[in-house]
Amino acid sequence: MKQGQVLFLSRNEVARYIDGQEALELTEKSIEEFALGNTNNPSKLILPCFPYHNGHINSMPSYMKYGDTAGVKVVSVYNDNPKKYGLPTTIGTIILYDPETGMPKAIMDGTLITDLRTGAVSGINAKYLARKGSTSLCIVGAGVQGYTSMEMILRTMPDIRRVIACDLASQRREEFIAKGRQAYPDIEFSGIDDHTRALQETDILVYATSADRPLLENGKPGPGVTVITVCELLTRKSVGMFDHWFVDFAECALERYNEGGKDSADARGVAWEDLTMSDIAGEIGDVIIGKTAGRVSDDQKILAGAVGISVEDIICAESVFQKAMADGAGKILDFQDL
């Protein structure tokens, strides 16, 4: 590529250069680098489009010493998209930069990378925090992030034999089960519409819904359970039901949980109390590098919240970029016409 040119990669092209196992390994590596302090990764910035449109657009930039990689993911979350427009709820675009000059070098689909790395984070949380030998998994919110979370947890927790799909929308639930049965014929799949029973009877639960109110606080977690939240309005009540609360990125997580939680509480006319650093037991990256202890006994109830870290996206995007360049894939566009 000449100076001033960028590589453009569509979703199908991105899919040729990354798979689930690689996304899992790269995501874990990026979380490790984040924990070691080898990254510049500010909190994500949220652009709400409410009340004019039902969605928000997040900006997530980062730089990693590993691979000398800089980039930004812009990710939209529009909950009405599947029903109203047949589009995904979560849509990503990734721009990679040459960190030496600040010139963009690639623009690619970030939807697939978002789905894979979000699932990967669930798999990693399960690997480090769930009870060894866990056999059952419940996915609350049987949508896109819920499915990739299941796929990745099946990779990291090989003893899982039973998967329960929980969704308010029976069609989403049935689609999830049908797709799961086809991909994993040895796993027993079933469906429910109320997560509270599963909280008592399942080893690992993932909350990945588009609900605009807290769900978890209405249940009662059983001993030894691990709850991983991809998307859930965490409250003091829900956090207080667990022995330990781990997060991916403490500063960003508190901003997101407090802002989202307060907005939802105000809309419902209920009181809100901010979550604070002292509620958090540690970051998952510190558990991975051995700086913080994770689960220390089988009966502990563990909550693991993930709001997403930019480096998870950027590490995957850089790997896709390198492979696509070597293969001559994608479209090279004149950007600056130098």
* Residues in contact with ligand NAD by the rule CB under 6 A: 77, 82, 88-90, 114, 118, 140-146, 166-169, 172, 208-211, 215, 230-231, 306-308
CB of 81 to ligand NAD, least distance (A): 7
Taken in order 317, 322, 323, 327, the sign of the CA dihedral is positive
- Min separation Cβ 307 and ligand NAD, Å: 5
3-state secondary structure 267-290: HHCCCCCCCCHHHCCEEHHHHHCC
Residues facing 61 on adjacent strands: 72
Of 229 and 324, CB closest to ligand NAD: 229
Q: Which two tokens stand for residue 248?
A: 């991916």
Return the amino acid letter for 129.
L
Report in angstroms how near the CB of residue 224 gets to ligand NAD at its nearest.
Answer: 23
Q: Which residue is nearest to ligand NAD (CB)?
A: 143
End-to-end CA distance of the chain: 12
Shortest approach of ligand NAD to residue 147 CB, angstroms?
Answer: 8
Nearer to ligand NAD, 208 or 239 (CB): 208
Please tell me the distance from the alpha carbon of residue 141 to that of residue 210, in angstroms, as a whole number.
Answer: 7
Selection from 43, 41, 46, 42 nearest residue 260 by Cα: 46
Q: Which is nearer to ligand NAD, 70 or 77 (CB)?
A: 77
Q: Which is nearer to ligand NAD, 105 or 172 (CB)?
A: 172
Nearest distance in Å: CB 111, ligand NAD: 9
Q: How far apart are CA 297 and CA 333, in angstroms?
A: 55
- Which residue's CB is nearer to ligand NAD, number 89 or number 226? 89
- Identity of residue 273: E
289 secondary structure, DSSP code: T
